[in-house]
């Protein structure tokens, strides 16, 4: 497949999320500028908002928020991979 998974640093994700939170540019503009899919920018923005909101709460520690965001990412990745596997099964094993 032509889709290579890219890994971005936390600093890069924070920079993109902050730009999205500022609202000066549309998600589409940011996606073109940072060469990241618009859905990914929206996800990072949601994560940043969750981290910020929980930063003002004394109930959760930062590590808990980060772990929850990471867990959500992992479940999303599992879902994407399952869809890809199902698609490949249909294409490669027509009788399956």
Domain locations in the chain as residue ranges: 10-92
Structure confidence at residue 60 (pLDDT): 62
Structure confidence at residue 50 (pLDDT): 87
Structure confidence at residue 7 (pLDDT): 85
Structure confidence at residue 4 (pLDDT): 64
Give the position of tokens 């596997």: 85
| Nearest by Cα to 12 from 35, 39, 38, 46 | 35
Helical H segments across 1-96, by residue range: 10-22, 27-34, 38-55, 62-92
Structure confidence at residue 3 (pLDDT): 59
8 A C-beta contact, residue 41 and residue 62: no
Please list the ranges in the chain whose pLDDT falls under 50: 1
């Amino acid at each position: 497949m032509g889709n290579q998974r890219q890994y971005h640093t936390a600093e890069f994700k924070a920079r993109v999320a902050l730009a999205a939170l500022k609202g000066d540019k549309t998600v589409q503009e940011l996606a073109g500028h940072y060469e990241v899919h618009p859905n990914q920018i929206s996800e990072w923005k949601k994560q940043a908002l969750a981290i910020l909101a929980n930063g003002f709460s004394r109930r959760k520690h930062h590590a808990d928020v980060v772990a929850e965001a990471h867990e959500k990412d992992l479940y999303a990745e599992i879902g994407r991979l399952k869809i890809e596997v199902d698609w490949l099964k249909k294409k490669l094993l027509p009788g399956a």
